[in-house]
């Protein structure tokens, strides 16, 4: 293909995206803390951040990162297999495994890479991956990149999954794959039922707990702990450092043998420069705070309940749930964009979520709450929604 033909293809693709109303623009923000950001020289209320516990700017987290920066420098300088591995990485993996209640854990540069690593390392030809239809894109892409057959079951529908387990021929392993907390709706996987099916069909169970890490469970251990289940009921837990822990990166936790297999064979691990020491040190400090300061989690959950009720009182269909993710479904993408623009004018930053991030006809405002939000912030957001409805 010539360079000009390549350019023509790019123009065609971009025009198709624009005609479908799906063009996206990057928005420059300077996040100030867990509740506000600077946008176009205005301080706005931040209602789209995954910084659920407000730890990204916590003094102890920043001090830990700065200390590591002074001691170790900025970059890790290589992959974990060469020069990138440090005692900081090892200490955090031990702490993450202990927090999760598993034998071991392995760090990855992003949660996306962690999911790709799990799917492409463990799933082989002859295996079948049973995947929830609303799983995160990283799980979907990991399934596609694996050599296994992929069977998609209806979202959270245990009966549909059970039927597919029954009728699908399998020559290798059955592997059930699900988000613990679904990122666009904030609802939880029916984990107890999935464990029951796992036992009945001798399957493996992989749970992406990115939005549950630090958020659910007595000490933020995740979805399994929230349901009072032992960690070993889940074969592999995928977690993140980039949401409630306010840092960046992902990890996989599970049995020692499975983590050793990832360490030796997962290409996203082997061929990536290691996370920087500052990122690792900050995440480790955040993990301790998340585990020890339960009042942060309680405050986050309280604000989420209050915002749901405030929106519902003003006639908006804010979804029920127990997580800090509160989708307000609008349906039409254009209407969702209009509401988002109005909220921005009112000093509330809450972008519209449109296809392909969500299914056609389910565009929404995806609100998120952090431990730093106040009751006054809740009223500000709810009133901004109400002022749009009364125009």
The CATH number linked to 268 is 3.40.640.10
| Shared-domain flag, residues 76 and 123 | yes
pLDDT band at 222 (very low <50, low <70, confident <90, very high): very high
Tell me the three state secondary structure of residue 10.
helix
Catalytic residue IDs? 183, 211, 243
Same domain as 298, residue 288: no
End-of-domain residue from the set 292, 312, 329: 292
SS3 of the chain: the string is CCHHHHHHHHHHHHHHHHHCCCCCCCCCCEECCCCEEEECCEEEEECCCCCCCCCCCCHHHHHHHHHHHHHHCCCCCCECCCCCCCHHHHHHHHHHHHHHCCCEEEEECCHHHHHHHHHHHHCCCCCEEEEECCCCHHHHHHHHHCCCEEEEECCCCHHHHHHHHHHCCCCCCEEEEEECECCCCCCECCHHHHHHHHHHCCCEEEEECCCCCCCCCCCCCCHHHHCCCCHHHCCEEEEECCCCCCCCCEEEEECHHHHHHHHHHCHHHHCCECCCHHHHHHHHHHHHHHHHCHHHHHHHHHHHHHHHHHHHHCCCCECCCCCCEEEEEEECHHHHHHHHHHHHHCCEECCEECCCCCCCCCEEEEEECCCCCCHHHHHHHHHHHHHHHCC
In the prediction, which pLDDT does 391 show? 63
> Mind listing the pLDDT tens digit for each residue in 99-131?
999 999 999 999 999 999 999 999 999 999 999
Residue 16 resides in a domain: no
Question: Looking at the domain assignment, is residue 6 inside a domain?
Answer: no
Let me know if residue 20 belongs to a domain. Answer: no
- Per the domain annotation, does 379 fall within a domain? yes
Look at 13-17, 21-25, 234-238, 366-370 and tell me which has the smallest mean pLDDT.
Answer: 21-25
Last residue of a domain, one of 238, 257, 292: 292
State how many domains the chain has. Answer: 2
Q: What is the mean pLDDT of residues 285-313?
A: 96
144 within some domain: yes
Q: In the listed set 247, 268, 292, which residue is the last one of a domain according to the structure?
A: 292
Domain hosting 37: range is 25-54+294-389
CATH code for the domain of 361: 3.90.1150.10
In terms of domains, do 74 and 212 share one?
yes
Residue 178: closest CA among 235, 139, 222, 122:
139
Residue, of 332 and 162, whose pLDDT is higher:
162
Q: Are residues 273 and 329 in the same domain?
A: no
Residues 235 and 152 in one domain: yes
CA 46 vs. chain centroid, Å, equals 18
pTM: 0.94
Residue 203 has pLDDT above 90, yes or no: yes
Lowest-pLDDT range, 33-42, 87-96, 191-200?
A: 33-42
Q: 196 and 84 in one domain?
A: yes
Residues 287 and 327 placed together within one structural domain of the fold:
no
β-strands 363-368, 352-353 pairing: antiparallel
Place of tokens 């600077």: 38
What's residue 26's pLDDT?
84
Is residue 187 located within the same domain as residue 201?
Answer: yes
> Tens digits of per-residue pLDDT, 61-88?
999 999 999 999 999 999 999 999 999 9
Give yes or no: residues 222 and 368 share one domain: no
262 and 273 together in one domain: yes
13 in a structural domain = no
Residues 129 and 275 in one domain: yes
Segments in 40-86 forming alpha helices (H): 59-72
Question: Is 131 found in the same domain as 76?
Answer: yes
């Amino acid at each position: 293909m010539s360079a000009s033909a390549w350019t023509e293809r790019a123009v065609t693709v971009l025009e198709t995206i624009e005609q479908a109303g799906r063009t996206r623009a990057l928005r420059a923000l300077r996040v100030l803390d867990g509740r506000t950001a600077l946008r176009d020289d205005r301080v706005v209320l931040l209602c789209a951040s995954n910084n659920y516990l407000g730890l990204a700017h916590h003094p102890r987290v920043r001090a830990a990162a700065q200390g590591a920066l002074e001691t170790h420098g900025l970059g890790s300088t290589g992959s974990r297999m060469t020069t990138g591995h440090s005692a900081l990485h090892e200490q955090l993996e031990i702490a993450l495994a202990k927090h999760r209640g598993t034998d071991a854990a392995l760090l990855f540069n992003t949660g996306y890479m962690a999911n790709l690593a799990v799917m492409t390392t463990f799933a082989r030809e002859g295996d079948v991956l049973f995947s929830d239809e609303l799983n995160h894109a990283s799980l979907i892409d990991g399934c596609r990149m694996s050599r296994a057959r992929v069977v998609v079951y209806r979202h959270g529908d245990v009966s549909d999954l059970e039927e597919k387990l029954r009728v699908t021929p399998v020559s290798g392993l059955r592997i059930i794959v699900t988000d613990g907390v679904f990122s666009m709706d904030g609802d939880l996987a029916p984990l107890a039922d999935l464990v029951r099916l796992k036992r009945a069909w001798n399957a493996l169970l992989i749970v992406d707990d990115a939005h549950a890490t630090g958020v659910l469970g007595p000490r933020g251990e995740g979805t399994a702990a929230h349901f009072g289940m032992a960690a070993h009921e889940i074969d592999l837990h995928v977690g993140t450092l980039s949401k409630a822990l306010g840092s960046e990166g992902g990890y996989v936790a599970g049995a020692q043998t499975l983590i050793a297999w990832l360490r030796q064979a997962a290409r996203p691990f082997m061929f990536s420069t290691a996370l920087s020491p500052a990122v690792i040190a900050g995440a480790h400090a955040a993990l301790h705070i998340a585990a020890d300061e339960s009042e942060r989690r309680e405050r986050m959950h309280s604000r989420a309940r209050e915002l749901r009720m405030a929106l519902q009182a003003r006639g908006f269909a804010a979804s029920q749930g127990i997580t800090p993710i509160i989708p307000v479904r609008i349906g039409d993408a254009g209407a969702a964009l209009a509401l988002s623009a109005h909220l921005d004018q009112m000093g509330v930053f809450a972008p519209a979520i449109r296809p392909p991030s969500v299914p056609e006809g389910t565009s929404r405002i995806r609100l998120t709450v952090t431990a730093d939000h106040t009751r006054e912030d809740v009223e500000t957001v709810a009133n901004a929604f109400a002022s749009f409805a009364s125009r």
